Amino acid sequence: MTAQKFKIKKGDTVIVLTGKDKGKKGEVKHIDTTMARVTVAGVNQVTKHRKPSQASPGGLEKIEKSLHISNVALLDPKSGKPTRVGYKTVGDRKVRVAKRSGEQME
């Protein structure tokens, strides 16, 4: 599989559209472009059993697993609802724009 280009970037606030965490909002921590997956802070948490080591005591640890990028949508900066993304040229720069409200995304 080749790396794709996505309209969602690291640091964006997204909402989960499907699955057990539907409706939850969070910030994108990591994007895997080869597998089309995103890791969102506080979403899709699982419990991992860790063995004790010299560095850590071990035990149960909550970690975030990745979601497929199609299961999340960017939040509109104006209304806070899910939106698609378009592009617009402002001066000599190409910027992302929310389709729902027309607001510029940063």
* Burial class for 14, CB neighbours closer than 10 Å (0-12, 13-18, 19+): buried
Confidence of residue 1 (pLDDT cuts 50, 70, 90): low
CB 77 within 8 Å of CB 13: no
pLDDT exceeds 90 at position 15: yes
Q: Which residues contact 66 (CB under 8 A, 6 or more apart)?
A: 30, 32, 35, 37, 38, 39, 44
Domain range list for the chain: 1-75, 77-106
For 24-49, how does the pLDDT look when each residue is reduced to its tens digit (9 = 90+)?
999 999 999 999 999 999 999 999 99
pLDDT digits (tens, 9 = 90+) for 73-85: 999 999 999 999 9
* 96, β-bridge pairs: 87
Please check the confidence at residue 2 and state whether its pLDDT lies above 90: no
Q: How confident is the model at residue 106 (pLDDT cuts 50, 70, 90)?
A: confident
Instruction: Render pLDDT for 52-68 as a digit per residue (tens, 0 to 9).
Output: 999 999 999 999 999 99
Apex CA 47: angle with CA 24 and CA 65, to 5°? Answer: 50
Domain 1-75 bears CATH identifier 3.90.870.10: no
Rounded CA-CA distance 67/30 in Å is 11
